[in-house]
Amino acid sequence: MTDIKVIIPAFNEADSIALVIKGLPRTISEVIVVNNNSTDDTAKNAEAAGATVLTETRKGYGYACLKGLDYIALSAKQPNIIVFIDGDYSDYPEELDKVVAPILKDNIDFVVGARTKGLREEGSMTPQQVFGNWLATFLMQLFFGAKFTDLGPFRAIKYEKLKELNMEDKTYGWTVEMQLKILKKKMTYTEVPVRYKRRIGVSKVSGTVKGSIFAGIKILGWIFKYSIK
């Protein structure tokens, strides 16, 4: 039986976190919510919905994901697959089966849920987010011949492969770092189109000027770092 664990980084997602957890297929062995200094009921609601709740006090998306991985490394039973999904209910958690399917059926190492234009709700991604994703994936194609079209947060990877990546980004470079390392290590990957809707609650990243600029710099920084290697 394939063991799948889900990691959800969450910062003030009290109104959406339970919907994400409950929307995931029942076949998941553990849902791990990494609460990052939330000042609302994120932790309480996640626990009530059946998730394992971890606390990471250092602020940052990457810090939260790394905390989840540290926890898994120490747990009794290691999973075969790790899925990442955001806590804001923008993704459709029930699409998890679709996202992991290429790993299960075709033995692919890594899958990105791509928020394809026709499938995402209008306004679910900000213009700067659409542009940033386009630019990042365009540069990855130019420099590395990559076939990604998105840096979407909803993604699945074989646990053994993820360990080999030695992930280190502490903030919003997390998604692009993973994709660049997949390319560098010549692991196999694919994308599946996923739906995407307007989030519940307020955006912490792309909906803020600071978040957008910071994320943009981090993402481009990773790409240029790899392009000169």
Ligand X SMILES: Nc1nc2c(ncn2[C@@H]2O[C@H](COP(=O)(O)OP(=O)(O)O)[C@@H](O)[C@H]2O)c(=O)[nH]1
Residue 208 near which of ligand X, Mg ion, none (CB within 5-8 Å, type-dependent): none
Tell me the window of 17-25, 56-64, 81-89, 119-127 that interacts with Mg ion (CB under 5 A): 81-89
Shorter beta-carbon distance to ligand X: residue 37 or 227: 37
- Alpha-carbon radius of gyration of the chain: 16
Considering only residues 121 to 160 of the shown chain, the ones binding ligand X according to CB under 6 A are none
Tell me if 120 contacts ligand X by CB under 6 A. no
Residue 9 near which of Mg ion, ligand X, none (CB within 5-8 Å, type-dependent): ligand X
**179, 199, 219, 226: which one contacts Mg ion (CB under 5 A)?**
199
Tell me the window of 85-93, 112-120, 177-185, 219-227 that interacts with ligand X (CB under 6 A): 85-93
**21, 43, 68, 87: which one contacts ligand X (CB under 6 A)?**
87
CA pseudo-torsion sign 116, 42, 169, 24: negative
**7, 52, 83, 86: which one contacts ligand X (CB under 6 A)?**
86
Distance from C-alpha of 156 to C-alpha of 139, rounded to nearest angstrom = 23
Residues 6+ apart with CB under 8 A from 110: 155, 156, 157, 158, 161, 178, 182, 187, 188, 189, 190
Residue 38 near which of ligand X, Mg ion, none (CB within 5-8 Å, type-dependent): none
Shorter beta-carbon distance to Mg ion: residue 187 or 201: 201
Residues 6+ apart with CB under 8 A from 99: 83, 111, 113, 154, 155, 156, 192, 194
Tell me the window of 81-89, 93-101, 155-163, 175-183 that interacts with ligand X (CB under 6 A): 81-89
Tell me if 207 contacts ligand X by CB under 6 A. yes
The residue among 163, 17, 187 whose CA lies nearest residue 81 is 163
Shorter beta-carbon distance to ligand X: residue 106 or 121: 121
**Contact residues for Mg ion, defined by CB under 5 A:** 88, 90, 199
